[in-house]
Structure 1
Amino acid sequence: MAPQDYDDDDFVDQYDEDLGEEEDELSPEDKIAMQKGTEEVRKALGEEASKVTVAQIQEALWHYYYDIDKSVAYLTRTFIAPPPKPAPKAAQKPAPKKAPEEKPRIPPNFFDDMPWLNIPRDRETTFIEPPRLCGGLLGGTGSAPKVSKLQALAAMRKRKIEEKKAQENPDSLEGEVTKLALSDANQENTGTNHAPSAFAQALFESDSEADQRHRRDVFAMPYTQSSLFVASVFSEPSPDDIVLAARAKAGKKTPATPKTPKKSQKNEETSKDGALAGGVANLKVTDSPPPKSKGIDVIKEFEQSASKKHASFVVVGHVDAGKSTLMGRLLLELKLVQERTVDKYRRQAEKMGKTSFALAWVFDQRSEERDRGVTIDIATNHFETDSTNFTILDAPGHRDFVPNMIAGASQADFAVLVIDASTGAYEKGLKGQTKEHVLLLRSLGVQRIVVAVNKLEAVGWSQERFQEISEEISGFLTGLGFQEKSIKFIPISGLNGDNIVKRSEDEACSWYTGPTLIEGLEASVPSTVRSLQKPFRMAISEIFRSQQGTTTLAGRIDSGTIQVGDALLVQPSGESAHVRSIMLDTETRDWAVAGQNVSIGLAGIDPVHVKVGDIVCHTKDPINVGDTFTMKAMAFAHLMPMPVDLHRGRLHAAGQIQSIAALLDKATGEVIKKKPKVVQPGSVARVLIKLDTKVPLEAGQRVVIRTGGETIAAGLLE
């Protein structure tokens, strides 16, 4: 090619075309990923997929590197449900420009060394302005100016008064006239003293006079000539302006009053002062009146009402037994969780390599729980059947979070014990937290238990494995005091949903003909008639503060009844309040009874003095507050005078076992031995516990004693 035929544009265009062709084409892997991603996005969008085109979906997938969640979020935000455009803001007026600061032209102390500033006072000249002569108008006459009739009348009256005074006192006139006499016969010549010259003063004056002469009485302040200084002087209102503004303000506020006679004016002012003083004395800051009680017979209303039963159950078991997955599957089968939400959790779990955790994330919402794969705090949820409203309390299974499990079990009417039936996992769990959880359930007064034998599909729905686990767990539970009629065993699969709401369709599970899990829950609901007659007690599990200043306390009513308008007391702070509202299952009620999980809105209380674990009671039946208690304890480990932690629901208090009063017989409760030094595991003893702080506890309540991360005793307060 000749040099003159070479064209740079043709050369560059050739490479641009090649580059464009490479960018437009997708690799086979990208095509497969794009096709698969498009299908998943359309599936995730559901019915709303018709609102976007395939090109828009593929563009979003290409932009987000085939991330389904981000692509769905982008399409929903951009095309399906775009956010409303913000209203145009009003044009802001430009701020007024500040006047440029004028710097002083003459620096201070510039003329300090000028000689004319050191002139002594006696040499300064004082100029006296000559008097000005008041002349008449140009072209006027020499006659007196004309006066009005009123001025002439005033002058005539003044002249008559002076003449009358002169006639009455003629001597005084003569004295005044004599003063006007001029006599210059005895006047003496007085000389004028002139000041000495500057040379004479320098020769004869003393040092003190020299200092006095050089002292300046007038100081030059050139900066006062600056416009900035003058502006700052008048930047604030003058005293006259303040007085005038106050008068004008008072004139606007105070209406004009008619004039009153002088005789009654003093009495009226006195009465006004007295009324004002009385009004100031009566000024008070009062709260809104407490809500009035309707005087409802709550027990009678509860017996006559056709409302559903209310029950709470806690889900316990060894870590990784599948508790959260089982409860997530239960809510999914009851249509309380959307399939779309579970699919979203499943995709997120796949990215973390934890596909089987998707259902567990329905309960485990915290990032720490999802990262570790364990439940940390109590997770709550609600569902209802045809006969009962249930509250789920998913308790943590890890040994580090046993106090949270105690808090959940203390709010439960019965328990669901989840057992991992897979090979090796059951034996590991029985040696781990399963045994301690069952021990705590019995110590906290839970009497009914549903045993869910989970993951039975891992062993082929073996009936022998199910019977083996049932017999072993049944013997363990009855040995702790559970009755056989209060124990139910159900084979389930939390991951697949077998025997949870519907019976399993797997032929390998055809041997089981018992109830499903939901049927077993309905059959385990206890009666609450006895608890209604006892004084009102509720342990605080959560505290809310609304923007309107209302304090709301959430918790489960342990005993008694409550209605709007009741006067309540929060212990141990001793703060009193009135019931403003009662919320039960997102519905406003006028009353509530034992066994129900409620949110109580209070009036006249500061939430600063209320904390989780406090007890709410009626003012007429308050719960006692103390720091020393006698306890009838069942020992799970060796007991002796030692530091311990006492647990009662959400209430945790540190203290120590001060002394051991006696060993007791398990059956009769009679004293076997007085003041033993050590209590052996499995024995019952009466111990004295001293706590570091005062807590609200009373006789008959069940408490748990732990130390060093292990449960060592449980029992009743006496």
Structure 2
Amino acid sequence: MGHVLVKLKVVDDRTMHKNKTEAARLGKDSFSYAFVLDESEEERQRGVTMDIAQAQFKTKTKIVNLVDAPGHKDFIPNMINGAAQADVAILVVDSRRGEFETGFEFGGQTREHALLLRALGVSQLICAVNKMDTVEWSQERFEEIVKKLSSFLKSSGYKESDVTYVPLSGWTGENLIAPNNPPLSWYQQGENPLNTKLNGIICGATLIDLIDRLKPPERPISKPFRLCITDVYRATGIGAGTVSISGRIDCGGIEVNERLLLRPSNDQVTIKTIQIENTNVSSAFAGDNVTLNIQGVDPTHLFIGNVVCDPEYPISCATIIQARIIIFNISVPILPGTPIVFHFKSMQEQGKIANLIEELDRSTGELKRKNPRLLTKNSSGVVEIVLQRQICCELYSDVKELGRFMLRQ
């Protein structure tokens, strides 16, 4: 996405010159566009994205808040942190022979990322088939990748109508903003030869075109206010004595000077300022990523994963929850006592599967058996989860954004 930001003039020429110089110094010339979002010294030295980075750009119809998340398996928790803030996602896959297959095989990162996104509530997906310049813009290779991805994504719960595919090159820039490569004529011509075989391919569409076509999600503005904290920092200088929290508003709305309840500590806090994209605003609503400057709370009571909410309608907190889970590719069956890592929004907590209550038909949700001995891959069930610390959550039927979580072994 670094090259997209350069082409859209979000990144100026001076900054890009510095990135190219730094990449050359490190012997990583081809990473100059990656350095647009990979700003830390360690990320640049190692040549991998390690933490999330954010940027904003505009298309013809949208203002897009970009969250760039790691792809490497060592940084899956940070990837989850980024994905938990997303409405939609761009899944970037490597078209090179062997590289795509490695990511797509059992346990590969392409599969895991797609499953994580779906588990976190992302339903709209753009699959960017990258590095097409290295396979000579082969229609055959593109079609092969699309067929494999579409079959897997459908089985993972994505609707065909919500997934699109685009061939491009993040390095050369073709088909990011404009389709300017003659070998891509098979994709750009008036009647797409792939349309009769494959869904999700829009003839001649660039990456930006597909972003413009994404449907804005419905926002639960009328429900009681909820914001799950993703970052905490103490104010210095002007505003000293206050603390700032960041996060995405899950439902409802707020105004400056409104009083909120912090859960699970039950501190009463007052909103002093609201910022969106470093700009002070008087109010904010569901879907907005905000920074709130608050008073009335001991900063030691603030943790990532805490929730600020409407004090008249407080969110529930629990260490024991009962939930329906859908199991994908696991190597070891789930038994009572199985340890898990519980990922919820931007926080993670240690816990265990305490009891297996029901096994369900994965497709219909109908009961198959009560008190199963174990649950295996590609199955579904109702389980009791015990966590080491309290988490704030809602019934899925009330607030989907706060009733959805993910477990990893």
Q: Fold match, TM over 0.5?
A: yes
- Map 1:398-437 to 2 at 5 A: 398-431=72-105, 432-437=108-113
- For 1:534, the equivalent position in structure 2 comes to 223
Equivalent of 2:408, from 706, 711, 715?
706
- Map 1:108-123 to 2 at 5 A: none
- Larger strand fraction of residues: 2
- Map 1:497-512 to 2 at 5 A: 497-503=173-179, 505-512=180-187
Give the % identical residues.
39
- For 2:392, the equivalent position in structure 1 comes to 696
The 1-side partners of 2:260 and 2:63 are apart by 27
The 2-side partners of 1:704 and 1:374 are apart by 25
The 1-side partners of 2:364 and 2:320 are apart by 25
* Residue identity matched to 2:264: P
Q: Per-residue CA shift, 1:513-533, capped at 9, x if unaligned?
A: 32211121121142324x112
Q: Per-residue CA shift, 1:113-153, capped at 9, x if unaligned?
A: xxxxxxxxxxxxxxxxxxxxxxxxxxxxxxxxxxxxxxxxx
Q: Report the alpha carbon displacement of residue 455 of structure 1 after superposing the two structures with TM.
A: 0.5
- For 1:142, the equivalent position in structure 2 comes to none
The 2-side partners of 1:484 and 1:668 are apart by 19
The 1-side partners of 2:363 and 2:15 are apart by 53
Residue 483 in structure 1 maps to residue 179 in structure 2: no
Query: Counterpart of 1:347 in 2: which secondary structure?
Result: helix
* Residue identity matched to 1:507: P
Q: Report the alpha carbon displacement of residue 626 of structure 1 after superposing the two structures with TM.
A: 1.0
Residue 581 in structure 1 maps to residue 256 in structure 2: no
The 2-side partners of 1:474 and 1:643 are apart by 32
Q: Could you tell me whether the CA contact under 8 Å between 2:60 and 2:212 is conserved in 1?
A: no
- Map 1:356-395 to 2 at 5 A: 356-395=30-69
- For 2:381, the equivalent position in structure 1 comes to 685
Residue 634 in structure 1 maps to residue 332 in structure 2: no
Q: Could you tell me whether the CA contact under 8 Å between 1:413 and 1:525 is conserved in 2?
A: no
- TM-score when scaled to structure 2? 0.90
Q: Per-residue CA shift, 1:519-549, capped at 9, x if unaligned?
A: 21121142324x1122221111122322222
- For 1:350, the equivalent position in structure 2 comes to 24
The 2-side partners of 1:534 and 1:488 are apart by 32
Q: Report the alpha carbon displacement of residue 612 of structure 1 after superposing the two structures with TM.
A: 1.7
* Residue identity matched to 2:159: Q
Residue 450 in structure 1 maps to residue 139 in structure 2: no
Q: Report the alpha carbon displacement of residue 661 of structure 1 after superposing the two structures with TM.
A: 0.6
Residue 517 in structure 1 maps to residue 213 in structure 2: no
Q: Could you tell me whether the CA contact under 8 Å between 2:267 and 2:296 is conserved in 1?
A: no
In structure 2, the CA distance between the partners of 1:333 and 1:593, relative to structure 1 (3 Å rule), is: same
Q: Could you tell me whether the CA contact under 8 Å between 2:325 and 2:382 is conserved in 1?
A: yes
- Map 1:217-296 to 2 at 5 A: none
Query: Counterpart of 1:629 in 2: which secondary structure?
Result: strand
* Residue identity matched to 1:702: R
Q: Report the alpha carbon displacement of residue 471 of structure 1 after superposing the two structures with TM.
A: 1.5
RMSD: 1.4
* Residue identity matched to 1:627: T
Q: Could you tell me whether the CA contact under 8 Å between 2:325 and 2:381 is conserved in 1?
A: yes
- For 2:299, the equivalent position in structure 1 comes to 607
The 2-side partners of 1:671 and 1:425 are apart by 41
- For 1:670, the equivalent position in structure 2 comes to 366
Q: Could you tell me whether the CA contact under 8 Å between 2:85 and 2:248 is conserved in 1?
A: yes
Query: Counterpart of 1:512 in 2: which secondary structure?
Result: helix
Structure with more contact order per residue of length (Cα contacts < 8 Å, sep ≥ 6): 2
Query: Counterpart of 2:405 in 1: which secondary structure?
Result: strand
Q: Report the alpha carbon displacement of residue 673 of structure 1 after superposing the two structures with TM.
A: 0.8
Query: Counterpart of 1:699 in 2: which secondary structure?
Result: coil
* Residue identity matched to 1:693: R
The 1-side partners of 2:345 and 2:81 are apart by 4
Q: Could you tell me whether the CA contact under 8 Å between 1:378 and 1:394 is conserved in 2?
A: yes
Q: Which residues of structure 1 form unaligned runs of 5+?
A: 1-326, 708-718
- Map 1:607-626 to 2 at 5 A: 607-626=299-318
Q: Report the alpha carbon displacement of residue 391 of structure 1 after superposing the two structures with TM.
A: 1.2
- Map 1:28-107 to 2 at 5 A: none
- For 1:243, the equivalent position in structure 2 comes to none
- For 1:222, the equivalent position in structure 2 comes to none
Q: Could you tell me whether the CA contact under 8 Å between 2:87 and 2:217 is conserved in 1?
A: no
The 2-side partners of 1:537 and 1:552 are apart by 16
The 2-side partners of 1:694 and 1:494 are apart by 43
The 2-side partners of 1:496 and 1:645 are apart by 40
Q: Report the alpha carbon displacement of residue 640 of structure 1 after superposing the two structures with TM.
A: 0.8
In structure 2, the CA distance between the partners of 1:525 and 1:586, relative to structure 1 (3 Å rule), is: farther
Query: Counterpart of 2:217 in 1: which secondary structure?
Result: coil
Q: Per-residue CA shift, 1:640-674, capped at 9, x if unaligned?
A: 12121111121211111111011112233222111
- TM-score when scaled to structure 1? 0.52
- For 1:335, the equivalent position in structure 2 comes to 9
Q: Report the alpha carbon displacement of residue 447 of structure 1 after superposing the two structures with TM.
A: 0.6
* Residue identity matched to 2:408: R
Q: Report the alpha carbon displacement of residue 679 of structure 1 after superposing the two structures with TM.
A: 0.5
Q: Report the alpha carbon displacement of residue 343 of structure 1 after superposing the two structures with TM.
A: 2.0
The 1-side partners of 2:364 and 2:134 are apart by 47
Equivalent of 2:114, from 438, 447, 450?
438
Query: Counterpart of 1:625 in 2: which secondary structure?
Result: strand
Query: Counterpart of 2:172 in 1: which secondary structure?
Result: coil
Query: Counterpart of 1:702 in 2: which secondary structure?
Result: coil
Q: Could you tell me whether the CA contact under 8 Å between 1:566 and 1:618 is conserved in 2?
A: no
- Map 1:85-164 to 2 at 5 A: none
Q: Could you tell me whether the CA contact under 8 Å between 1:414 and 1:525 is conserved in 2?
A: no
